[in-house]
Amino acid sequence: MQEAIGWASSVILVLTIGKQIYKQWKEGSSESVSKWLFVGQLAASLGFVVYSWLVRNWVFVVTNSLMIVNAVLGLLIVLYHRKREKSEIGGQQLEASQS
């Protein structure tokens, strides 16, 4: 029963974070999302994977490995959106200066 609770909680956590990342991608904006959220999540999840491996807790090894994937995807989406927004602003400023 303990393992089932752990695995169910793992699925809920990973799906919840995954849904947020998908929403960012679908909406095409990461306006209110800090890249440091994903950097911190990545660092914490790496530490938890190592710790969980050492204590042989496979629920947390799998969960935090998936959270690493989520953190990397989330960070890449934020950086992509910031780069795109910066180039759009630069393009608008160039157009304004030419008119």
SS3 91: helix
Do residues 6 and 58 lie in contact, with contact meaning Cβ atoms separated by under 8 Å?
A: no
Q: Please state the pTM of the whole predicted model.
A: 0.77
Specify the pLDDT at position 73: 94
Cα 37 to Cα 95: distance, rounded to the nearest angstrom: 34
> What average pLDDT values come out for the chain (99 residues) when binned by 10 residues?
87 89 87 86 93 94 94 93 84 67
Annotated domain spans of the chain: 2-98
Specify the pLDDT at position 1: 83
Specify the pLDDT at position 32: 79
Query: What is the CATH architecture assignment of 2-98?
Result: Up-down Bundle (1.20)
DSSP 34: -
Specify the pLDDT at position 20: 86
Specify the pLDDT at position 93: 67
